[in-house]
Structure 1
Amino acid sequence: MSKTKSISISTLTILFIILVWVLVTSTGMVSNILLPSPAKVFNTFISLSINGYNGVSLLTHYLITLQRLLIAVILAIIIGIPLGLLSGYVPTIKAIIDPIIQFIRPIPPLAYYTLLILWLGIGEISKISLLFLAAIPPIYIACFDAVKKVDKEYLQSASSLGANSKQLFIHIIFPAALPDIFTGIRSAVGVAYTTIISAEMIASTTGIGWMIIDASHYLKSDVMFVGIILLGVTGILLDMIIKNAEKALVKWSGQR
């Protein structure tokens, strides 16, 4: 399927969903409290953009959430990629790091968020730490698996030509692992995104996630929809940025 045709189908799908949304809300089939109309959601977005929510502008809420997410994901990338690659390459490092990551990976974020607050306080550090702990396992696992998938013939050929362990790692393993590294980053952003509500629902008065939770307490479904749509659109844009970065940096992706 061509890219143009794919975009057209996606656009028609979105338009169809909006049309059904308009029809359902305009006919009164569902209460406006449970499902606000697109027009009401749009007007609420304009109102929030002008007047803010809880005395804080919508842009500030949005940028605070984005800042928390990006700091956590960048830290996970900086730490997770070297740990994953080295664990896949050096058995001793795997023996040290892998049990820790495998222990953290299946635990729901809220299970240890209270502990993070007790240890780190109610400020930004506990929220970013929660997102970091959610983001690092996907990156680590993707990097670890990428090293294991490297064709052993490449390593043997390079070794026979005199390459040492450091040269093998830098010139063969790391380039070969890059496509999987980007896949891990995309997964990490998705996991951190699903955790943002948890990070902002406790001991916070700012952020889109907090705004959604707070609005739910007062049945402000229009505010909730604005927040959810903002998070969804931002998630799509971040994923597009990562995919475009992969295309630009990993020219050999899919050619192995």
Structure 2
Amino acid sequence: MSTAEPHRTGSLTNSGTHVGIQGGTRPDTVGRRLFQRIDAGLAATVVTVLTLLAAWWLASHLHWVPMVLLPAPETVAGKLVQLATEGFDDATLGQHLLASLSRIAVAFVLALVTAIPAGLIIATNRIARGVLDPVIEFYRPIPPLAYLPLMVIWFGIGELSKVLLIYLTIFAPLTIATASGARRVAKSRLLAAASLGATRFKLLRYVVLPSALPDILTGLRIALGAGWSTLVAAELIAATRGLGFMVYSASRFLVTDVVIAGILVIGAIALILELGLRWLQRKLTPWHADD
């Protein structure tokens, strides 16, 4: 006598897990696990931040470090409010921040419209690779501040030298990431699209570029972080306004609370940019984004 096969839909496994139509866990179970992971990560972040703030507060109030070298957290918070309202060195915090963001924005847009096409061309054209690859690989390992004096000599201490320096910093890693992603496109996909009548431009637009998008976004995160660091460093040397200039100007007069406040703002902006790019990566490439 044959035994009837158990009904698969909504059945329970030996471990008690509710199985769906295709044998997967229920959506509410997946959502609960994801929420628990996010909740645990958020809790760890909050604990870390509070621990650092507590250590800072104790170090300053118990005089483990002289107050002139490490002001208390509330002192720095009050200085941030003062910087936003009264300013420092003939400019408010908002004006310094706007100067820095405008420089990084211009360089970022220029890098986007040139580095991504350059990476695609390098990946698909041997002559272009022979021309561009040696130049990029030559200057990429050189610290940007090493050729900043040359930029100042050539273009002065105005905006052009700083924007060009940031542009070069972003251009190299973004080009390399784009070329790397474009080279990994499966040949079967290219042949299938070509057999359907796709032109070379359509292959790049609808096959190569979408396939390389995860690598492009990862390279963009790396490049933007490097560009932001280079911007702040460049403002230490050749600027009259900006977050880096504000920190450097305050350090010359040992105004430590302004230095720390500026560092906190610089770090916060970098974190916001990184989180924004992570969000964009999850939206555009949900199959490849980080957890």
Q: Does 1:25 align with 2:60?
A: yes
1:126 aligns with 2:161: yes
Query: Larger C-alpha radius of gyration, 1 or 2?
Result: 2
CA distance in 2, matches of 1:50, 1:7: 32
Counterpart residue number, 1:110: 145
Paired-residue identity, %: 35
What SS does structure 1 have at the residue aligned with 2:84? helix
Task: Tell me, yes or no, if structure 1 residue 2 matches structure 2 residue 9.
Answer: no
1:42-83 CA deviation, whole Å, 9 max, x = no partner? Answer: 111111112100111111001101111111111111111110
Whether 1:171 and 2:206 are equivalent positions in the alignment is: yes
1:49-88 alignment, distance < 5 Å: 49-88=84-123
Partner of residue 193, structure 1:
228
Cα distance in structure 2, aligned partners of 1:198 and 1:19: 29
The alignment status of 1:224 with 2:259, answered yes or no, reads yes
Q: TM-score, normalised by structure 1?
A: 0.94
Matched, 1:141 2:176: yes
Assess if the C-alpha contact under 8 Å between 1:73 and 1:188 holds in 2. no
Match of 2:272 among 205, 226, 237: 237
Post-superposition offset of 1:252: 4.3
Is 1:41–1:223's contact at 8 Å kept on the other side of the alignment?
A: yes
- 1:58 is matched by which residue type in structure 2? L
The separation in 2 between residues aligned to 1:81 and 1:33, in whole angstroms, is 47
Moved more, 96-105 or 146-155: 146-155
Report the alpha carbon displacement of residue 130 of structure 1 after superposing the two structures with TM.
0.8
Question: What is residue 190 of structure 2 aligned with on the other side?
Answer: 155
Provide the secondary structure at the position in 2 that maps to 1:54: coil
Residue in structure 1 matched with residue 136 of structure 2 by the alignment: 101
> Which amino acid letter does the alignment assign opposite residue 209 of structure 2?
F
d(CA) in 1 for partners of 2:67, 2:156: 39
Structure 2 gaps of 5+ residues are 1-35
Describe the SS at the equivalent of 2:89: coil
Higher relative contact order (CA 8 A, sep 6+): 1
Q: Distance in 2 between matches of 1:69 and 1:117?
A: 18
Aligned partner letter, 1:150: V
In the alignment, the residues of structure 1 paired with residue 86 and residue 199 of structure 2 have an alpha-carbon distance, to the nearest angstrom, of 62
Deviates most, 144-153 or 244-253: 244-253
Aligned-pair CA distance for 1:250: 2.9
Which has the larger helix fraction? 1
Distance 2:260 2:196 in 1: 60
Once residues 73 and 219 of structure 2 are traced to their aligned partners in structure 1, the CA distance between those partners, rounded to angstroms, is 35
CA distance in 2 between counterparts of 1:166 and 1:70 reads: 28
Task: State TM-score, norm by structure 2.
Answer: 0.83
